[in-house]
Amino acid sequence: MRRRLRALLSLPLTALVSALAPAPAAHGATDTFIGTWAAPPTAVPATDSTVYEDQTLRQKVHTSVAGGSLRVRFTNEFGTSPLVIGEVHAARPATAGPATAIDPGTDRVLRFDGSSSTTLQPGTQRWSDPIKLPTTAGGDLVISLYLPQRTPADTVHSSAYQRNFVANGDVTGKPDLTPASTTTSWHFLSGVAVNSSSGTADSALVTLGDSITDGEHTQADTNHRWPDLLAERLRRDRQLAGTGVVNAGIGGNRLLRDPNPAPGSPAESFAAYFGESGLKRFDRDVLGQPGARAVTVLLGVNDLGQPGLVAPASEEVTAPELIKGYQQLIQRAHQHGLKIFGATITPFEGDTLGYYTPQRGATRQAVNDWIRTSGAFDGVMDFDAAVRDPDRPGRLLPAYNSGDGLHPNDAGMTAMAQAFPLQLLR
């Protein structure tokens, strides 16, 4: 399976699309569903030895749009052995009490073709059957997943900015549990969709990006990522209240290239979490989202900053190379009837990570000029203008700086969400 996947990923883009196109029956299974939450999965580095056995993962997600019934997507896409799911429950969290508690009156068993258990082969993902469980827009949903067998945690979204809990035994249906450990990752969980015919959902906006979209340096458990804050704006707009916002950000992600740490370098211990390139994962993480009608793209800063640090210096990029990558995404989106909106790359001069050089600053400006003026995208989100310091435009405004000169803080995330032109979605 892994060999076949690698072979597929080596194909030209058009051939890859045909090879990976979903069967009509599988696609039809989610035709009336709209994405309300997502977390793109990645592989794990060899140093990540996390293993679960006879344990329950209680994981919380934040829904962006409401529905009367839902489905949950599970993934073993980077696994090397079958993922055995013993039982899964979905519930709303308790309105009071510990963070580990659920509202027992909302607890539902998830099934797969009628069975309460299933096995996912390596390289695969699967949606659960629909269940009737009304969700609220801007509310939380708790997914309790029981893993009866020894299960390496090798498919993950490592940066959840959300506390999740691990408990011993099958306690999927317990109103509360005693955690054996806490994690800030999502494991084996990649999407939630709600039924558009029984709620307010009518379409989904997918936000493809890197750590800035993923929520790096935002306060945990507060859902202050800019896509979450944008979803709040949409819910207050009568025309756009039915738009789900599906976060497809991955920390460290690049537009053009997969992770490529130098052998023996410290980056080998974490680079796998950066995920496949935006070009490679576009079909899965954007086109594969139920009800997707539009996508935003905020990628490029890691293409600029990682060479020489966590990637070979030979992978230094130019503005034409990045622009060519954007053009490929634009073509893919338009082929599938999606609107695609480009975001200017935010400033990072003075960063503490070692990303900035004057050459990279000039490349960023050239790319941003193209995004603003080329007309290639269906719309532009000028996040650079929203968060830069007007006195030193190569840098983040101090009030928006998380401390590393690269990632906006919670206030910066608010400024980005406010800078999204809502008319793009009308």
AA identity, residue 33: F
User: Please, what's the b/e burial string for 210-221 (b: 16 or more CB within 10 A of its CB; e: otherwise)?
Assistant: bbbbbbbbbeee
What pLDDT, on a 0 to 100 scale, did the predictor assign at position 397? 98
What pLDDT, on a 0 to 100 scale, did the predictor assign at position 30? 53
Residues of the chain with pLDDT under 70: 1-31, 198
Contact, 195 vs 138, CB < 8 A?
no
What pLDDT, on a 0 to 100 scale, did the predictor assign at position 266? 95
Residue 47 Cα distances to 130, 270, 301, angstroms: 37, 8, 26
Query: Tens digits of per-residue pLDDT, 91-114?
Result: 999 999 999 999 999 999 999 999
Pairing of strands 67-75, 131-135: antiparallel
Q: Hey, what are 172's tokens?
A: 């999927």
What pLDDT, on a 0 to 100 scale, did the predictor assign at position 199? 75
Angle (CA) 9 12 18, round 5°? 80
**Residue matched to tokens 């992978």:** 315
How far apart are alpha carbons 361 and 246 in whole angstroms? Answer: 30
How far apart are alpha carbons 175 and 170 in whole angstroms? Answer: 12
What pLDDT, on a 0 to 100 scale, did the predictor assign at position 16? 39
What pLDDT, on a 0 to 100 scale, did the predictor assign at position 2? 41
How far apart are alpha carbons 60 and 144 in whole angstroms? Answer: 9
Contact, 45 vs 270, CB < 8 A?
yes
Q: How far apart, in Å, do the first and last CA atoms of the chain sit?
A: 42
How far apart are alpha carbons 362 and 33 in whole angstroms? Answer: 43
Pairing of strands 33-38, 87-91: unpaired
Q: Could you tell me how many residues make up the chain?
A: 426
How far apart are alpha carbons 195 and 316 in whole angstroms? Answer: 44
Angle (CA) 75 110 205, round 5°? 55
- Point out which residues pair with 203 in neighbouring strands: 243
**Residue matched to tokens 């090397």:** 80
Contact, 319 vs 367, CB < 8 A?
yes
Residue 412 Cα distances to 39, 188, 189, 347, 409, angstroms: 22, 30, 28, 12, 5
How far apart are alpha carbons 252 and 370 in whole angstroms? Answer: 23
The 10 Å Cβ neighbour count of residue 387 is 26
Query: Tens digits of per-residue pLDDT, 260-311?
Result: 998 999 999 999 999 999 999 999 999 999 999 999 999 999 999 999 999 9
Q: Helix, strand, coil % (nearest 5) of the chain?
A: 30, 30, 45
**Residue matched to tokens 């691990």:** 166
Query: Tens digits of per-residue pLDDT, 300-311?
Result: 999 999 999 999
**Residue matched to tokens 């099934």:** 111
What pLDDT, on a 0 to 100 scale, did the predictor assign at position 1? 38
